[in-house]
Structure formats: C-alpha cells, structure tokens
Structure 1
Amino acid sequence: MAAGCNLCFAGVKAVIFVTGLCDDHCYYCPVNRNRLGHNVFYVNETPVSSIEDVVVEVARSGAEGASLTGGDPLARYSRTLAVIQTLKEWFGSRFHIHLYTSGRYATREVLVELDRAGLDEIRFHPTLEWFVDRISVAKKYTSMDVGLEIPIAPNLVEWAKRIMKEADARGVDFINLNEMEFVEPNARALLQRGLRESRRRPFTVKGAYEAAVELVEWAEENIRAPVHFCPASFKDAVQTRNRLRRTALVDKKWYESVTPTGTVVYTRIHRDGGCERIEAYPTPSREPIVSVEQIECDGANTD
C-alpha cells in the first residue's frame, strides 16, 4: 500500500478537513451538507480556527502524519500550504502528509510549491477525465508520490477501467479504490441513479464491493501500478477506532482507563453527608456501569 495508507491503517494519521469548499459537484459525495460548500476547518472532527489549533489537535492525537481533505484543499490553497509548512516545522520532515484533490487547481506552479512545502503524497480523484493529465505534471516536476483515488460502484466499472489505464500510462505510483458509501448526504442522488443500499454491507452501495473485487482482478492483468481496495467498513472498524484510542491515551486522566475501542471508563465519587458512593462511567453514555455503595456512613475513614 501507499505510505499514507499504511499510516492510516494504524490510526496514526490526523484527518485535517481543510475546507468544505469544492467546485466539483460529485453526486456520490458523502460529506455532510453542513460542511460541503462551507469554508469550515476541522482536525479529527474537532473544529479549529487557526493553524496553531491544528498543531495542538495533531499533537493531541499522537499522530505520525496527516491527511488533508475536504471539499478540495486546493480551493483554499494558502491555508493548505500553511498547514503543510507548519506541520513539517513542528513535527519534522518524517511527519508524512498526503492530500486529496480532484486536480482542478493543481497547476504546475501549485504542485511545485506543494512539493517544496513538504507534501509527501498527492492523490487525484479526476472528476473530469482531463484532470488525469495532472498526474503527468506531478510526476515530471515534483518528488511526491502520486496516486489515483476513485470511488467504486456497479455503474462506474467501465469508467474506472478507462481512468485506471490512463493514470497507469502516466506513471501513477498507486491506485486506491474506495467502496462507495450510501449515507444521508448522497442517498437521494444515488437513488435517482438506480443505486440502492446493500443489506449485507450497511451504509454502502449495493454491488460496490463486488465491483471493486472485479476491478482488482482485472488490474492484475492490465495495470502496472499496485491497486488497493479500501472497504467502507474499514474506516470505522479499524482506522477511526485506532485514531480514537491514540487520542484517548493522550487525553486520559489518572482515574480513567481507555478501552480497546477508544472509549474511556472513569470513576466519580458522590458524597452525601458521611456516605460515599463510587460509580464507574464509560463515555459517551455517562450512565454508571458499576455502583459500589460504601458501608461506613458514620464519618469513619473508608477505603
């Protein structure tokens, strides 16, 4: 897999949502409509308002790298550039950063400047087929790893084969296939195109998994670059869970314990006169899972 994927797999990438602004109108976009089209800024789902906030949140998560996403990060190019430069200054040259873009704004000058700022990896999702040409520019004028990242559904198989061949001919370093999600923001548009949610794989498009497997098998005979399939379930079951756990281990107080899923169990002591009641709570429900009533209620010391 690509270096960025290996770090994501381990949950050591901070996810930086640079902006919700984007001039590509993909019907399958799963981004929440409270974000898409708005100039908002998040790190690991936490709103931030400055580059300094970004550094704090990245450090909090114990990240070893960052992925820059949106929207299209290049729609707010100066912010994106500042994030890359600042993260490299604070965390060092080995702090791996990758970025997702359609390529609409990825001119030669922009790509060269991103490379100089320290961007390690760029992933193109060519919403217009001529955007594939950006791969050639990035390969020729920068030292970045260059990838193709596209969504997969049954109605996109032939398009995907064509785009994969074109990207491969331009020397792309890797190709990632993402199982198309079926979620509230894109559900209406998907239904209008005859796509349905899979009963076997909730929150994904029916047949997307099988289409991805077909493409991987086809790529063995037709594509030089390594091709990787990323199931939608992986993001929650592995990637997000690992990232939550790392953040919780940094944040936890002395009286808290982090669970394997990244939630936190903590204790709370209630005093009513001379009586103490100790309860242990998990997050985020805040309902006690253990309640131990103290016997000594006459003011004597209790353990």
Structure 2
Amino acid sequence: MVLFVTGRCRRTCWYCPLSRERKGRDVVFANERRVSSPSEVLETAESMSALGTGITGGEPLLELDRVVEYARLLKEHFGPDHQIHLYTGLAPDEPVLRRLQGLVDEIRLHPPHEVWPCILDTDFAKSAVLARRMGFLVGIEVPALPGIEDLAAALPLLDFLNINELEWGETCAAAMRERGLEPEDGLHNAVLGARQWAEKLSLHPRVHFCSSAFKDSVQLRERLKRIAANTARPFEEVTDDGTVVYGVLEVAGPVAEFLEGLDGDDYVVCEGRIEMAWWVLADHGAGLPGRKYVVERYPNGGMVVEVTPL
C-alpha cells in the first residue's frame, strides 16, 4: 500500500510530479483513496491484503506524529513482518530515528539535486550512517537527472540506491520545458534521455533502476489485481489489468420478470439502477426499458476507466 501522509513540503524541487490535488495540501491518501481516519487506512490495506506499506508525501516527517501513529497501527494489525519504508527529503537525526525505530524498517532518503556533487559532506550521509547503525535499512531514492553519477560516492554508506526514471507531470511540465526536456513518447510519462543519464550507474549491484513503464504497467496493475481479487462482486469480471467490468441498467420501466430469472448474486439494485454481469446485460438486455451500458473501473469503487453504451 502507498500511504501518502501529507502534501506539505518545504522544498520546491522543479521535478516534483505531485498532482494539484495533493501538492502543498495537508491531505492523506491510502493508495488512490483519500482517507480521514485510521480505520479507513486499515480498510484499504485489508482490501489489497497488503504485505507492506510505503509512507510518502510531500514530506512525511513534517507530520512525524502521524507517521508514528499509522506505522504503529499497521504493525499492530498485520504483525511485525508488515514491511514499512519511509521516503523523506530530510536527513533524520537521532531523536527522530528513535521515534521511528521498531515501526519503520527502511528509510529512503531524497537529497536535493544541488547537493549530489558533495553528498558525503551533507547531513544525508551522516543520517545514513546513523540509521544503519540503529538497525534501519537505508538507501537513497531519487529521479534520474543529469549528474546522477555523483551519488556513486555514497554507495558504501548505503544498502541500496533506487533511481526512478524522470517523469513528466502536470505540475512540473513548465519547469521541464524551461530546461528543454520533453516526453519520450505519447504513451508514457518518461522524460526523453532520463534512462541514459542513469545507464552507467545502474550497472552497480546496489543500484536499482525503475522505469516509468514498469511503475505504470506492473506495480499499479499488480496492486489493482490484489484489490480486485478481494473486493470484486460476484458478477464483476476482473481484467488482466486489475480493473473490474460490469453492466448497468438505468431502470425506466418494469423489469421484475427479468430479475426473477437471475440469482441473487447476479445483480444489485442501487439508486434507480441495476448493476449486473456485463454479458447478461449484453445478451438479454435488448428488450429492457432504460439506458444500458458497460462500465470498466478501478476496483473497490475506484476511478471509472471507460463507459461503453449498449
């Protein structure tokens, strides 16, 4: 599960991809769902049988009490094997690390681009050494930018270095254009050239490169598939992409005779419409009064992907 604990951040990284819905706002999201209570966080984690949680933002450590509360909640509910990693653009000192100890397993530091050439002289290097000594797994996670090879100097201090392919976003598009950057193609958010900037450093055994396409086509899809497997209604078809598909009849006349031929698990009635297996509606809905269409959406009441009229 991805737990976004706040959109607040004191830094102004030009490449920040956060959406306007989240950037600078003190809001909490569990995966794609905005939540307002610990119970909703647990519901989301349960819905996908989450084996671990990534805590992110914004800057999570600006809301340290919130991080501690949710991490403790998840560890108590799922047990100590529920792996929790924390992304931060700060360099946590010993008092902060003490509060996270036993709750957060892994810390992923995000030093700003401008300090990469002198990374060993920064508080991030000191924090990495201290955190590893205290039992945390510690790494650096940054986007692929020119000069990424400067971070090679920090590898002896780290358990890993994660490089994410630089991505085009709505809130950073103007800054990208100012720097002469452009999307790689019309299908993905990857920035042209970003993969090449990280190519040499990615050969190191402690370095992991995550492409934009992998995040879109694998990570998100697998998360959706886990949620769909747990939450899909009996009549919903789960696709290979982890979305669910069902039919909708907006009732405009008598349908009692039609419903009598269906099992109770084959449909639900809600707010003037009937939701059912799409193939049932496609095969038998021609004579039914009302608007008929097929919906594909993210599972558990998520975003609608496509609506196809019948």
Tell me the TM-score normalized by structure 1: 0.79
Matches of 1:89 and 1:274, distance apart in 2: 48
Matches of 2:138 and 2:240, distance apart in 1: 34
Letter matched to residue 180 of structure 2: G
Secondary structure, aligned partner of 1:111: helix
The answer to whether 1:121 aligns with 2:106 is: yes
Match of 1:292 in 2: 283
RMSD of the alignment, in Å?
A: 2.8
Alignment of 1:27-66 (within 5 A): 27-66=14-53
Q: CA deviation at 1:194?
A: 1.8
Q: CA deviation at 1:273?
A: 5.5
Matches of 1:70 and 1:60, distance apart in 2: 22
Secondary structure, aligned partner of 1:291: helix
Letter matched to residue 258 of structure 2: E
Match of 2:245 in 1: 265
Q: Which has the higher contact order (CA 8 A, sep 6+)?
A: 1
Question: Identity of aligned pairs, percent?
Answer: 35
Match of 2:60 in 1: 73
Secondary structure, aligned partner of 2:184: coil
Tell me the TM-score normalized by structure 2: 0.78
Letter matched to residue 71 of structure 2: I
1:197-230 Cα distance to aligned partner (Å, 9 max, x none): 213763111100122223224xx3xxxx611100
Equivalent pair of 1:275/1:294 in contact (CA under 8 Å): no
Instruction: Identify if the C-alpha distance between structure 1 residues 229 and 273 changes in structure 2 by more than 3 Å, giving closer, same or farther.
Output: closer
Point out where structure 1 has 5 or more consecutive residues left out of the alignment.
Answer: 1-13, 298-303
Matches of 1:84 and 1:96, distance apart in 2: 10
The answer to whether 1:164 aligns with 2:152 is: yes
Secondary structure, aligned partner of 2:241: coil
Select between 122-131 and 188-197 the one with higher mean Cα deviation. Answer: 122-131
Equivalent pair of 1:18/1:69 in contact (CA under 8 Å): yes
Match of 2:273 in 1: none
Q: CA deviation at 1:53?
A: 1.6
Matches of 1:273 and 1:200, distance apart in 2: 45
Matches of 2:190 and 2:285, distance apart in 1: 50
Letter matched to residue 143 of structure 1: G
Instruction: Identify if the C-alpha distance between structure 1 residues 115 and 295 changes in structure 2 by more than 3 Å, giving closer, same or farther.
Output: closer
The answer to whether 1:110 aligns with 2:96 is: yes
Equivalent pair of 2:5/2:67 in contact (CA under 8 Å): yes
Q: CA deviation at 1:261?
A: 1.0
Instruction: Identify if the C-alpha distance between structure 1 residues 52 and 273 changes in structure 2 by more than 3 Å, giving closer, same or farther.
Output: closer
Matches of 2:15 and 2:106, distance apart in 1: 24
Alignment of 1:168-247 (within 5 A): 168-169=155-156, 171-199=157-185, 202-217=188-203, 220=204, 226-247=206-227
1:134-173 Cα distance to aligned partner (Å, 9 max, x none): 2122122x211101111103xx2x2x222231x224x200
Alignment of 1:19-30 (within 5 A): 19-30=6-17
Alignment of 1:119-158 (within 5 A): 119-127=104-112, 129=115, 130-133=122-125, 134-140=127-133, 142-153=134-145, 156=146, 158=147
Letter matched to residue 54 of structure 1: V
Matches of 2:42 and 2:278, distance apart in 1: 34
